[in-house]
Chains A and B, each alone.
Chain A
Amino acid sequence: MSVASVNWASAALKIAVLVGLAGLLGWHYGKPLVAVALSLLALIAFWLYQMHRVKAWLDKPEQPPPDVYGIWGDLLAQIYLHQRNSKATQERLQATVQNLRDSLASMRDGVIMVDSLGAIEWFNQAAESLLDLRFPEDQGQTLTNLVRSPQFNTYFVQGDYDKPLQYLTGLDFPTHLRVEITHFGQRQRLLFIRDVSLSVREEQIRRDFVANVSHEMRTPLTVISGYLGTILGDSGNLPAPYTKALEQMAQQAQRLENLLKDLLWLSRIEGEDRPHEQEILDIKTLVEELREEMGGIYPEREIQVELDGQPKVLGDYRELYSAVHNLTINAIKYSPADTPVQIHGFQQGNEFHLAIRDRGMGIDSMHFPRLTERFYRVDDSRCSALGGTGLGLAIVKHVAAAHGARLQIESELGEGSTFTLIFAERESR
């Protein structure tokens, strides 16, 4: 910014000349002091007049400034320059803010800005229609007074916005809304609201489809494997080539049955909002039952159990059992017959770890991210030969998520793998 210079020296000189001349003139008439006083009075009057003009302009600054003489003119020019610059800056800022608001306004997601006390500062059109707000008059309203759903209220007030909230609203047309909140500025909050009804419905249809198909296919399959069993029980009367084929058929039918069973189980536990049957589970009982079952299926395998103390976890027994069962079966299948499988439960800090360890061939770490996907196979030919369904780890993942636990995978090629379920501390334990 260039600064207009104020010529102090010239101004001072002019005053000096004026007072000097008045003094001379007064001296000529014999009253020098009166003359000097009069000249100064005139100067003050002139300055007052100039100030008045400056003030008049300041009242209406949108007009160009008046021509003002001398030092006042210089000052005025500087003020004017300042004002013009700040006006330009302000306009630029306003344009930026307007631009931002326009872009937020055009978003298809609802956006709401809320101040530190929970009052609405601004919202866009999408939020208006999603939450039934009204544009100008609802600014300044407390948001929870208008969006009164208890779930929303609890989520909004508790202040922990790591996970988005999904809730059902609407009377005539039920709508699933997903709300995400972030903090910004001085304890202000920014809310993003999206209508997810469509994806919720699609997810529901997909889940129902899988469940229905699996269920419908089980009945014919039971008939097929039933007859196969009957025929094979009488295999002495069959020609040898048929026996082999029928045995294979029975084996594959069994595999198909396992697959359908896993699919049904998976679609049952997949739903996020299903009611949980939570109880306090004794891990020891669970592991003992598991060891007994494994002893029946794989009598030759050794399962070492080591539990520190009396660990207890809050959850659903059947679900948790299926998860640990799947991990143990995997450990048994993917390790040589002469090596033991270890189940180790221990407390680490606030978390309870349940680790299932094998001494098998291990998994390359590049497979880790995709390991829990359905039907993902590290080595396709071998896995099918072992008779897995490809759904085991997907089930484990869902059970873990439903219990607020996470699945940790550690593995080294040739050394073996460790799958650990890590349960966070819960108040009710």
Chain B
Amino acid sequence: MMKQEGYQQHISGRFNAELEALRNHMLEMGGKVEQQLKRALEALVNMDSGEAELIVTGDSEVNQMEMAIDDECSSILARRQPTASDLRLVVAIIKVNTDLERIGDEAAKVAKQALRLAGEGASPSNFVEVRHIGNRVAVMLREALDAFARLDVDMALKVMQGDSQVDREYGSAMRSLVTFMMEDPRDIGVILNEMWALRSLERIGDHACNISEHVVYLVRGLDVRHGHLDELVNQSGDGGSG
């Protein structure tokens, strides 16, 4: 595994500081996005329109952070021309940055559904599915960011493997919501909103999975997108965490 000290080997102390600051800013944005997601879930389950409103407006803060990090990345690329693991760090952060911003958008979408649901009344499903998948996805996001902070490939693998589980649960949640719609067509409006929220949560799971893939790329230099996961799992079984 790449060591924490990896970024402290440069002759230029300022370059170290810049890379470290970039990493810190990205994880700070991660923390903000985590909070947005958590609060959006709470707002949805409690049908709290005031809280939901705050999350929708809070998304612009996430967007600001994304733009600031992008600027930082391009300035490092232009001025320092990083190579090897430094280059991988910057590239990984550029990609994680986009994923985090999307997660922020999806969290805002969940909050918008919460606003709508607060107007329409309780759902017959009692938000069991949202609660369940929401918690799962929030844990995935936290673990993906932890994996990034610790450069922990094993944790990243765990997140990637957890994503297929979320996809399956999403499928069964959809089926159970369809049953509710068939039982009482008056609930269709409410359930549709809930489905949109679930769809956003499922997308957040995918983005958390992407972040984990970037962690693997950062640490191992391997591209594990699009089905190279098994290779890596085998490798990881042989050589521990590297």
From residue 138 to 159 of chain A, which have CB atoms closer than 8 A to chain B? 138, 140-142, 144-146, 148-150, 153
From residue 124 to 167 of chain B, which have CB atoms closer than 8 A to chain A? 135, 138-139, 142, 145-146, 149-150
Query: Nearest Cβ in chain B — how far from A339, in angstroms?
Result: 48
Within the assembled complex, what's the spacing in Å between the Cα atoms of A150 and B58?
Answer: 12
Does A172 have its Cβ within 8 Å of any Cβ on chain B?
A: yes
Q: Are A144 and B24 in contact (CB under 8 A)?
A: yes
Does A171 have its Cβ within 8 Å of any Cβ on chain B?
A: yes
From residue 18 to 77 of chain B, which have CB atoms closer than 8 A to chain A? 20, 23-24, 27-28, 30-32, 34-35, 38
Chain A residues positioned under 8 Å from B135 (CB to CB): 171-172
Chain B residues positioned under 8 Å from A153 (CB to CB): 28, 31
Closest to A146 in B: B149
Does B5 have its Cβ within 8 Å of any Cβ on chain A?
A: yes
Does A277 have its Cβ within 8 Å of any Cβ on chain B?
A: no
Does B4 have its Cβ within 8 Å of any Cβ on chain A?
A: yes
Chain B window 200-240, contacts with chain A (Cβ cutoff 8 Å), 1 for yes, 0 for no: 00000000000000000000000000000000000000000
Q: Are A171 and B142 in contact (CB under 8 A)?
A: yes
Does A137 have its Cβ within 8 Å of any Cβ on chain B?
A: yes
From the candidates B28, B35, B139, B149, name the one contacting A141 in the complex (CB within 8 A). B149
Q: Are B145 and A140 in contact (CB under 8 A)?
A: no
Chain A residues positioned under 8 Å from B35 (CB to CB): 149-150
Chain A residues positioned under 8 Å from B142 (CB to CB): 171
Chain B residues positioned under 8 Å from A138 (CB to CB): 150
Q: Are A150 and B146 in contact (CB under 8 A)?
A: no
Closest to A139 in B: B4
Within the assembled complex, what's the spacing in Å between the Cα atoms of A132 and B38?
Answer: 17
Within the assembled complex, what's the spacing in Å between the Cα atoms of A42 and B142?
Answer: 75
Q: Which of A134, A140, A148, A150 has the most chain B CB atoms closer than 10 A to its own CB?
A: A148
From the candidates A149, A171, A172, name the one contacting B31 in the complex (CB within 8 A). A149
Within the assembled complex, what's the spacing in Å between the Cα atoms of A285 and B177?
Answer: 56
From the candidates A140, A145, A149, name the one contacting B23 in the complex (CB within 8 A). A145
Q: Are A171 and B5 in contact (CB under 8 A)?
A: no
Closest to A137 in B: B150
From the candidates B23, B28, B138, B149, name the one contacting A171 in the complex (CB within 8 A). B138
Q: Are A148 and B23 in contact (CB under 8 A)?
A: no
Within the assembled complex, what's the spacing in Å between the Cα atoms of A150 and B9?
Answer: 30
Chain A window 77-121, contacts with chain B (Cβ cutoff 8 Å), 1 for yes, 0 for no: 000000000000000000000000000000000000000000000
Q: Are B28 and A144 in contact (CB under 8 A)?
A: yes
Within the assembled complex, what's the spacing in Å between the Cα atoms of A111 and B211?
Answer: 31
Closest to A117 in B: B20
Query: Nearest Cβ in chain A — how far from B197, in angstroms?
Result: 17
From residue 327 to 371 of chain A, which have CB atoms closer than 8 A to chain B? none
Chain A residues positioned under 8 Å from B32 (CB to CB): 150
Query: Nearest Cβ in chain A — how far from B47, in angstroms?
Result: 18
Within the assembled complex, what's the spacing in Å between the Cα atoms of A360 and B63?
Answer: 61
Within the assembled complex, what's the spacing in Å between the Cα atoms of A132 and B34?
Answer: 15
Given the known A-B contacts A142-B20, A171-B135, A171-B142, are A148 and B27 also in contact in the complex, defined by CB atoms under 8 Å?
A: yes
Number of interface residues of B (CB under 8 A): 21
Chain B residues positioned under 8 Å from A172 (CB to CB): 135
From residue 160 to 179 of chain A, which have CB atoms closer than 8 A to chain B? 171-172
Q: Are B139 and A171 in contact (CB under 8 A)?
A: yes
Query: Nearest Cβ in chain B — how far from A170, in angstroms?
Result: 9
Given the known A-B contacts A137-B150, A141-B149, are A171 and B24 also in contact in the complex, defined by CB atoms under 8 Å?
A: no
From the candidates B23, B31, B149, B150, name the one contacting A150 in the complex (CB within 8 A). B31
Closest to B36 in A: A150
Q: Are B139 and A145 in contact (CB under 8 A)?
A: no
Within the assembled complex, what's the spacing in Å between the Cα atoms of A134 and B138?
Answer: 20
Closest to B134 in A: A171
Chain B residues positioned under 8 Å from A142 (CB to CB): 20, 23-24, 27, 149
Within the assembled complex, what's the spacing in Å between the Cα atoms of A137 and B34?
Answer: 23
Q: Are A148 and B4 in contact (CB under 8 A)?
A: no
Within the assembled complex, what's the spacing in Å between the Cα atoms of A134 and B155?
Answer: 13
Within the assembled complex, what's the spacing in Å between the Cα atoms of A150 and B20?
Answer: 19
Q: Are A171 and B38 in contact (CB under 8 A)?
A: yes
Q: Which of A134, A144, A146, A171 has the most chain B CB atoms closer than 10 A to its own CB?
A: A171
Chain B residues positioned under 8 Å from A144 (CB to CB): 24, 27-28, 31
Closest to B135 in A: A171
Chain A residues positioned under 8 Å from B34 (CB to CB): 148-149
Within the assembled complex, what's the spacing in Å between the Cα atoms of A146 and B138?
Answer: 15
Query: Nearest Cβ in chain B — how far from A262, in angstroms?
Result: 28
Within the assembled complex, what's the spacing in Å between the Cα atoms of A148 and B29?
Answer: 9
Within the assembled complex, what's the spacing in Å between the Cα atoms of A391 and B23?
Answer: 52
Closest to B28 in A: A153
From the candidates B20, B30, B139, name the one contacting A148 in the complex (CB within 8 A). B30
Closest to A149 in B: B31
Chain B residues positioned under 8 Å from A146 (CB to CB): 146, 149-150
Closest to B26 in A: A145
Q: Are A145 and B5 in contact (CB under 8 A)?
A: no
Within the assembled complex, what's the spacing in Å between the Cα atoms of A142 and B30?
Answer: 14
Given the known A-B contacts A145-B24, A149-B31, are A140 and B5 also in contact in the complex, defined by CB atoms under 8 Å?
A: yes
Chain A residues positioned under 8 Å from B38 (CB to CB): 171
Given the known A-B contacts A171-B38, A171-B138, are A145 and B4 also in contact in the complex, defined by CB atoms under 8 Å?
A: no
Closest to A147 in B: B31
Query: Nearest Cβ in chain B — how far from A423, in angstroms?
Result: 28
Query: Nearest Cβ in chain B — how far from A284, in angstroms?
Result: 32
A-B pairs, top 6 by smallest CB distance, nearest first, are A148-B31, A145-B149, A145-B27, A140-B4, A171-B138, A150-B32
16 contacts between A and B (CB under 8 A): A132-B146, A134-B150, A138-B150, A141-B4, A141-B150, A144-B24, A144-B28, A145-B23, A146-B150, A148-B27, A148-B28, A150-B28, A153-B31, A171-B38, A171-B139, A171-B142
A142-B27, A148-B27, A153-B31 given; name 7 further pairs at CB < 8 Å. Answer: A132-B146, A141-B150, A144-B24, A148-B31, A171-B38, A171-B139, A171-B142
